[in-house]
Chain A
Amino acid sequence: MSFAKLTVSALALAAVSATAAAARDQVQVTGSSTVLPYSTIVAEAFGENFDFPAPVVEGGGSGAGRAKMCEGVGPNTVDIANSSSRITQKDLDACAANGVSDVMEVRFGYDGIVFASAVDGPEFALTPADIYNASAAQVNTGGTIAANTYSQWAQFNDALPAQDILLLVPGTKHGTREVFDVKVLEAGCKESGAYDLFLAAAEGDDAAKKKAAVSACMKLRTDGRSIDIDGDYTETLARLDADKQAVGVFGLSFYQNNTDKLRVGTMSGVVPSTESIAEGSYPVSRPLYFYVKLAHLDVIPGLQEYVEFFVSDDMAGPDGPLAQYGLVSDPELAKTQEMVANRTPMGPLN
């Protein structure tokens, strides 16, 4: 009877799967979708140049990736978590609770965050304060805090075009949002004087006051002039195509691949580029990391080689393919290479 045969073969397949699950011969990487393109470039070149199979790289977000890495030790868990923000103490605690004691932190470069508008629109010479005034819930209007009613860029800065405000910012699940919050909103809040006003209005001790002021700074307006984009940069680009008035937040590498559609805005007078970020004059950048489970180094074939290849000058160096794609090479790369060779686990977070 054919059904019986089919059932038997299905059961046999299931049995095979249970036994073969123990072995794994390729590196598994997961995490940040910002790091994903860099990771795939390295994985592809690694597969071409070494006898090991190319690593399997997944996206899904920095936080999700770190949580997945901390699920435990063993071939059924991932080896590397890509992250566009630094690992948190909460992650490290979860790691320790699941037996992942030694984690190596590898910082391989920096990524710039740019503000860009439609290529045929006007030029934007922005400062953090401009972005703050355009997007915050409450702003400083001549020495008092008031709800944000600005509808055009020129209303708070004559140098900006008289164009309706529509800001597309990354959603809260993105690592990019954190940088936007700290390096742009908070900086702009202080620059525009709103921070001091918030501080004066806050109650409690000094630490509580500061905390209240910072969280007041990061509240975005909800009248539809600042929109959270939860998808990828491609979604931001599509929204920007549909509404030419918009100004969107992009990664530097994404902008560099789409210069025919986007016009980049300057930040405090500096044009974002790999050079200006490397020398530190462009303010909105962040380090990119990946975290390696040290316990897997001698278990998964090719893991040590992959990590070394990733931080080699051929890949992450200033002339390597990652830099061509938009990565700002880490000036301290040699130190990282040494750390990877010695398999130094990361110390406590400071």
Chain B
Amino acid sequence: MTDATHNGAPRKRHGSLMQQDALTRRRNAAESRFKLYGIAAISFSLLTLAFMLVTIFSDGVSAFRQASITFPVTLDAAKLDPKGQTNRDDMMKVTTIGYTSLLNKALVDYLDQQGISTEGVSDKQIAEFISRDTPAQLRNQVIADPTMLGQTISFSGFSTGRIDGYFKGRVTRETAQVDTNISVAQLDLADRLREAGILSVAFNWRFLTNPDASDQRPEAAGLGIAIIGSAYMMLLVAVFVLPIGVAASIYLEEFAPKNFLTDIIEVNISILAAVPSIVYGILGLAIFINFAKVPQSSPLVGALVLTLMTLPTIIIATRAALRAVPPSVRDAALGIGASKMQMVFHHVLPLAAPGVLTGTILGLASALGETAPLLLIGMVAFVANYPAGPFDGGMLDPASALPVQVYSWASRSDPAFIERSNGAIIVLLAFLMVMNIIAIVLRRRFERRW
């Protein structure tokens, strides 16, 4: 053997494994280049994601904190209930404008009494410290409990967006010099008030519970109605989409004959899954609002549109889950005499359930973040009243939705709404993350592999 190799005719020399020839070197170089491309692609997407998250969080986290102002208010009965009958209708006649002047005067007097210098700040500018949303709160308290009249209470309410922005670094002394809505003297006063404990910054629960607010009071705007609206919609979408989607998938996968018609249906489902979501909005406007007369801006109409939108995705996911159940399970069930329906509901569906649920949750998550179809059915609206409970017709009351709130805040003129908009994105991301984690946990715990 060895002789043959040594003494044979001279052949083309093969390189040693230790020494790479040109071709190998090229192939290896191509491979490492390809790896580099991959790493570059991944780091590019990670960088974009990091940049996006950093922007959102750096602008948005401050929405969860809010400056409040606390001072004693004497509820002058002569002003708030001129007739003195504590009659609700008479007290309703004193509008929030009356309460505003009461609050403004109370603050000015209190600062005077505490000996806090208000140099360079007019009484009107002191009043600008109190959010326009506070008079209504006080008014509602007084009307609900007229025994408060004549008493002195310690009142706490939000301070206005620009004072709040000063403590968060959005408003600075430099910007205040050119900003006609706030003066440097006001900022100095804000510092003194904070030292005296009249102004304080704390976690802002009301950002999650308050309804939307107008452009004049960004500090009072909250996500309450948007969260309720999104929750109602997700509930309804789940209720609509699960039975329809699962029934359609089971029929197509287990019962339907394989023919031209079912082929067409199959192709159509894939096409529908790729239809731009705005198309469903137009469809919803035409069918549900103009034809079926479902009230616009209601979670019901939003849910119906989102159901149409998610249905194809869910059917595709459910069919994939059903298909993943091995045929041997079906054969065994049929072999011991189960009917086709028993086979499906006793064996195939329970085994496919984790996949179905995961698909549904991911479908719901994409519906939760959807804005475009809601634009056309009146969900991008200013809604200030909470919808009723889910079983008291709340599904028909006007409501907003989380992604829509992000959109409408981003187009408001007051800069404080930019912060709120980013805060809303954080809340939306938190919801999406929770839903995705649930989907992953379900899949990990219950999925079976064959």
A interface residue numbers (CB < 8 A to B): 1, 3, 6-7, 9-10, 13, 16-18, 20-22, 24, 26, 28, 30, 33, 36-37, 39-41, 43-45, 47-49, 51, 53-54, 56-60, 71, 76, 119, 231-234, 251, 253-254, 256-261, 314, 321, 324-325
Contact = CB atoms under 8 A, between A and B. Distances in A.
A257 to B, nearest CB: 4
- Candidate in B171, B296, B408 with the most chain A CB atoms within 10 angstroms: B296
Given A20-B396, A24-B295, A44-B213, A58 B178 contact: no
Contact of A260 (B175, B243, B244, B293): B175
A256 B182 CA distance: 11
B380 A234 contact: no
15 contacts: A3-B242, A6-B242, A10-B243, A13-B239, A21-B396, A40-B214, A41-B214, A54-B384, A56-B297, A58-B297, A59-B380, A119-B178, A256-B181, A321-B132, A324-B216
B420 interface: no
A48 B136 contact: yes
B396 A256 contact: no
B437 interface: no
Contacts of B380: 58-60
Contact of B413 (A7, A49, A254): A254
Contacts of B213: 44
B247 A3 contact: yes
Task: Say which size band chain B's interface belongs to.
Answer: 35 or more
Given A6-B242, A234-B412, A40 B96 contact: no
A24 to B, nearest CB: 6
Given A6-B239, A17-B300, A259-B178, A37 B215 contact: yes
Contacts of B294: 17-18, 21
- Candidate in A39, A54, A231, A261 with the most chain B CB atoms within 10 angstroms: A54
B415 A258 contact: yes
B279 interface: no
Given A43-B384, A44-B382, A45-B96, 14 more contacts: A21-B295, A49-B136, A58-B381, A58-B382, A59-B408, A231-B411, A233-B413, A234-B410, A234-B412, A234-B413, A253-B413, A256-B180, A259-B181, A325-B215
A49 B96 contact: yes
Interface of B: 92, 95-97, 132, 136, 139, 171, 175-176, 178-181, 213-217, 236, 239-240, 242-244, 246-247, 289-290, 292-297, 300, 345, 378, 380-385, 393, 395-396, 398, 408, 410-415
A264 to B, nearest CB: 10
B395 A17 contact: yes
Given A33-B411, A256-B181, A3 B243 contact: yes
Contacts of B236: 13
Contacts of B410: 234
Interface of A (DSSP majority class): helix
A321 B136 contact: no
B215 A41 contact: yes
Contacts of A1: 345
Given A44-B214, A44-B384, A257 B413 contact: yes
- Candidate in A13, A48, A321 with the most chain B CB atoms within 10 angstroms: A48
A48 B382 contact: no
Nearest to B301: A17
A142 B241 CA distance: 70
Contacts of A7: 243-244, 247
A276 to B, nearest CB: 15
A260 B95 contact: no
A106 B297 CA distance: 25
Nearest to B417: A234
Of all A-B residue pairs in the complex, the 7 with the closest CB atoms, nearest first, are A54-B384, A260-B179, A48-B136, A260-B175, A232-B411, A57-B382, A40-B214
A71 to B, nearest CB: 8
A258 B132 CA distance: 19
B95 A314 contact: yes
A217 to B, nearest CB: 30
